[in-house]
Amino acid sequence: MESTKEIKKASIHTVPKDGSELPLMEAFYTIQGEGGNTGVAAYFIRLGGCDVGCHWCDVKESWDAEEHPLTRIEEIVQMADQYPGKTVVITGGEPLLYNLSPLTELLQERGIRTLVETSGAYPLSGRWDWVCLSPKKFKAPDASVYPYAHELKIIIFNKSDFAWAEEHASKVGEHTKLYLQPEWSKASQITPLIVEYVKNNPKWRVSLQTHKYMDIP
Ligand SMILES: C[S@@+](CC[C@H](N)C(=O)[O-])C[C@H]1O[C@@H](n2cnc3c(N)ncnc32)[C@H](O)[C@@H]1O
Ligand SMILES: Nc1nc2[nH]cc(C(=O)O)c2c(=O)[nH]1
Ligand code: SF4
Ligand SMILES: [Mg+2]
């Protein structure tokens, strides 16, 4: 990708508030591996910058926005539109650090579906076909985000996280799909606990990081 080779440093403080340029860590066409859209072909747009600080985060390289070049949204949309999937997943880092309205409007104008992966730590911007809210203990979601969640995806790291998951389930709408996903490094111990929990509490579904099992990005 030409743009990421530019030596143009971004910082959270210099990312334009109008959403015309965003710090882009990487973009790749793959299969959505997790949650309610598992199995769907999608172009992933990974934005740099996150201050939530999950100790088990699987993309810590994304955290420092300054390491990722500011990229014009027209360029991002043009790259996404080259693929037949016509679905993008905007992730990070924490995408809601930025004004995502212009990017998502441009994508939808081109007939591309917009999905977001977020901790909800900041209020929602953008036009979304699907919002995956994955709350974190390290920085709680902004209360305004819960009503927009099509999907609540809780990462289970230890047994106490089931009760914590129920607290968040009580805050989303009745149509929000509920998922429990094992933290990757503990998946072999935690997955059997999730299986038993879902059998006993069937409003929940199991979500696995299937891309990691398939060894794809
Ligand atoms: C890397 S995060 C980026 C988006 C946003 N910051 C968030 O946390 O939702 C993308 C998804 O991966 C999940 N995730 C991150 N690290 C994980 C891990 N070690 N095991 C399982 N899921 C993980 C997050 O909960 C989130 O649903
Ligand atoms: N295939 C694939 N599916 C994903 N779903 C959420 C991801 C993310 O890092 O946000 C992710 C990812 O990194 N790869
Ligand atoms: S909020 Fe998301 S990107 Fe940020 S540290 Fe947690 S899992 Fe990683
Ligand atoms: Mg990932």
For residue 26, report the phi and psi dihedrals to the nearest 5 degrees: -165, 160
Residue 119 in contact with ligand 3 by CB distance below 6 A:
yes
Q: Is 16 annotated as a binding residue?
A: no
- Separation of 164 CA from ligand 4 center, angstroms? 22
Say if strands 21-31 and 70-72 run parallel, antiparallel, or are unpaired.
antiparallel
What is the residue whose two structure tokens read 């420092």?
A: 64
Nearest CA to ligand 3 atom 7: 57
Would you say residue 10 has pLDDT above 60? no
pLDDT reported for residue 5: 38
pLDDT averaged over the chain? Answer: 95
Nearest CA to ligand 3 atom 3: 93
Would you say residue 12 has pLDDT above 90? no
Please state the ipTM of this predicted complex.
0.99
Would you say residue 13 has pLDDT above 90? no
Give per-residue pLDDT as tens, 176-197: 999 999 999 999 999 999 999 9
Give per-residue pLDDT as tens, 67-94: 999 999 999 999 999 999 999 999 999 9
pLDDT reported for residue 213: 98
Residue 53 in contact with ligand 3 by CB distance below 6 A:
yes
Q: For residue 93, say if its preceding peptide bond is cis, omega within 30 degrees of 0.
A: yes
Using alpha carbons only, give the angle 85, 46, 211 rounded to the nearest 5 degrees. 60
For residue 37, give the ligand nearest its CA: 2
Answer whether 0.90 is exceeded by the pTM.
yes
**Architecture in CATH of 3-152:** Alpha-Beta Barrel (3.20)
Residue 35 in contact with ligand 2 by CB distance below 6 A:
no
Would you say residue 141 has pLDDT above 90? yes
Q: Name residues contacting ligand 1 (CB within 6 A).
A: 50, 56-59, 91-92, 94, 117-119, 134, 153, 155, 181, 183-184, 209
Q: pLDDT above 90 covers what percent of the chain?
A: 94
- Separation of 59 CA from ligand 4 center, angstroms? 7
Q: Which of 210, 193, 156, 211 is nearest to 178 (CA)?
A: 156
Give per-residue pLDDT as tens, 14-56: 899 999 999 999 999 999 999 999 999 999 999 999 999 999 9
Centre a 10 Å sphere on the Cβ of residue 173 and count the other Cβ atoms it contains: 11
Residue 52 in contact with ligand 3 by CB distance below 6 A:
yes
Parse the chain into domains and list their residue ranges. Answer: 3-152
Residue 57 in contact with ligand 3 by CB distance below 6 A:
yes
